[in-house]
Amino acid sequence: MPSGSTQQQTLKVVEQIEKYYFTHEKDNIMSVFATVGSGPGGNGQNVARMFIRLKDWSERDSKTGTSFAIIERATKAFNKIKEARVIASSPPAISGLGSSAGFDMELQDHAGAGHDALMTARNQLLALAAENPELTRVRHNGLDDSPQLQIDIDQRKAQALGVAIDDINDTLQTAWGSSYVNDFYGSRSREESLCAGSCAVSHAAR
């Protein structure tokens, strides 16, 4: 999603993607799980990550039900979503390794032109690279600049009220982000249990 997008706007796109899978890939998928607030490029209200669980091989067509076929169809559909950049990819065959045979480039500002000039050059480079027919899914790995909120705590007033600064920080962390509670063990892996504020930070589909 564009920088500065709210969590509610991101959730609308997530629901749109879920609807696609349950409508057009209902014969191939078992479930969809989505989290809002974190993604491969970083954390923010404008990013989300989704996991698609496929049905067993015996329940899918050997040609149209492969993960590559599903990704190809999804990519064409997601390219029509103008308000967000949606990337469908397959997890790596070996955990810890990449899932593509691509390459990375790093752009550096040796001339000291500044942040804005660097971002302009980055966008120009991405546009030129995307025109190359030998390249596909050209994108930057991070997040665009987004609005920041700074909070100044009146420590003297907090001390006068008997409120510890650590308690204030912990409360803000939980209310606007999340706090680690404990681990629980599922059928296949260890999962973290997090406590968050009233504003939902995760969204699970059927």
Average of pLDDT values for 63-87?
90
Average pLDDT over the chain, rounded to whole?
A: 82
Tokens representing 168? 């204030």
Report residue 34: phi and psi, to 5°. Answer: -130, 145
Q: Which fold has domain 149-199?
A: 3.30.2090
H or E element: which one contains 30?
strand 29-39
Output the pLDDT for position 145: 67
pLDDT top residue among 153 and 193: 153
Nearest-CA neighbor of 48 among 17, 78, 74, 23? 17
Taking 90 as the threshold, does the pLDDT of residue 193 lie above it? no
Cα–Cα distance measured from residue 150 to residue 5, given in angstroms and rounded to the nearest whole number: 18
pLDDT top residue among 136 and 60: 60
Give the SS3 label for residue 49.
strand
CA distances 76 to 25, 86, 101, 141, Å, are: 14, 10, 21, 21
Q: Write down the pTM of the prediction.
A: 0.55
pLDDT tens string 14-42: 999 999 999 999 999 999 998 888 776 67
Give the SS3 label for residue 191.
strand
pLDDT tens string 127-157: 888 888 887 777 777 666 666 778 899 999 9
Taking 80 as the threshold, does the pLDDT of residue 91 lie above it? no
**DSSP 8-class letter at 65:** T
> For residue 53, what are the β-bridge partners?
31
Question: The domain 1-101: what is its CATH number?
Answer: 3.30.70.1430
Output the pLDDT for position 13: 93
